[in-house]
Chains A and B, each alone.
Chain A
């Protein structure tokens, strides 16, 4: 994916 990690916070 494009993200290294998922940004799961706001």
Chain B
């Protein structure tokens, strides 16, 4: 495993825990897109179907279990425990606009026309765009709380670090995964605007506000 990937995975874990911590301590899901979290939950479940059929390492299995359980817990907190605080009125992005294209693309572009591989490809494509409802919500409300900004930064950094990992693996191992790389680049590009605002505002101690 490359250092870039380890850093990426840790950034991913940090993002997930930051979000759970924010919702749990403030007892509020305000400013968080339930739709994005619901789609991330779908991403983990459809990707890690291989949890019991293909063993990679204790590290891999542990992370998979962690991602699935933390994601289910997040969705539970938003839609059940702290449902009253969830800002559904501002969470208006239509999930079918990304789920349907991701499914169609997975049926066309996959490594084998089997249930497991189509499910895996669907998961990769959906992950690339699952953040859209959250970014849409930040744009619509015009701002994000600092901890939400840190969450988005850690989540965006994760796939960016994976890109460095893929470059490293291509040169040193000849490893090349076109589906993951293409989706990973799209995913990272979607965070572009946010990264800019994060560096120019949040890092300087200001709240993240989207200009009208």
Contacts and interface: CB of A to CB of B under 8 A. Distances in A.
A10 B64 contact: yes
Interface residues of A, number: 9
Contacts of B67: 10
| Most central of A2, A5, A6, A7 by chain B CB within 10 Å | A7
B63 interface: yes
B60 A2 contact: no
Contacts of B64: 10
A10 B50 contact: no
B58 interface: no
Interface residues of B, number: 22
B112 A4 contact: yes
B4 to A, nearest CB: 11
B162 A9 contact: yes
Contacts of B117: 2-4
Given A2-B117, A3-B54, A3-B117, A8 B112 contact: no
B12 interface: yes
| Most central of A2, A3, A9 by chain B CB within 10 Å | A9
